Amino acid sequence: MGRLQCPLLLVVGEDDQNWPAHESAMDMKEMMERAGNSHLLTVLSYKNAGHLIEPPFMPFTRASTFKTVTNPPTKVMVLWGGELVAHSRAQEDAWRKTLVFLRENLYGANFNFQLSVFARLVSLKPVVHRVMVSNHVRH
């Protein structure tokens, strides 16, 4: 981390049940501060968000099951963590901030995106939030 010479964005959920993402991000931040390059680091940390902070409107997944490649295969459950509303809000916020981070660090802060699709995605605001509960949709 001390030799890092480029901007770095970390998106972490503080309720990640798969990996100590928040603690790892804080370790990286400390290493970069000691090396004098903490100005390159942006940490987006979300309380009550889990491991899979994907683009907005992806289904919330608190846990998954997989089959191993062993013989015989066994089923393994993986916990991702997070709470539905907090995690969904984290996905929306992280997506907008990720696009801004990429725009500023790939094109420069003064690059004109007013007419681009990229800028429209950054300002993306959902009209309706839907939550699936027992085959019923609540608005």
Does residue 33 lie in a domain region? yes
Does residue 2 lie in a domain region? no
Average pLDDT over all residues of the chain? 84
pLDDT tens column, 79-122? 999 999 999 999 999 999 999 999 999 887 555 554 455 555 65
pLDDT tens column, 8-52? 999 999 999 999 999 999 999 999 999 999 999 999 999 999 999
Does residue 31 lie in a domain region? yes
CATH number at residue 113: 3.40.50.1820
Assess whether pLDDT exceeds 50 at residue 139.
Answer: no
User: DSSP assignment, residue 60?
Assistant: P
**pLDDT for res 108:** 72
State which residues form the domain around 59: 8-138
Does residue 82 lie in a domain region? yes
Does residue 111 lie in a domain region? yes
Amino acid (one-letter) located at 117: V
Residue 114 CB contacts under 8 Å (≥ 6 apart), including other chains: none
**pLDDT for res 41:** 95
For residues 82 and 88, what is the distance between their CA atoms, to the nearest angstrom?
9
**pLDDT for res 2:** 76
Tell me which long-range contacts 60-63 makes (C-beta under 8 A, separation of at least 24): 60/84, 60/87, 60/88
Domain count, the chain: 1
Does residue 1 lie in a domain region? no
Assess whether pLDDT exceeds 60 at residue 137.
Answer: no
pLDDT tens column, 57-69? 899 999 999 999 9
Does residue 3 lie in a domain region? no
Does residue 127 lie in a domain region? yes
Amino acid (one-letter) located at 104: E
Strands (E) located in the chain: 8-13, 41-46, 63-67, 75-79, 131-133, 136-138
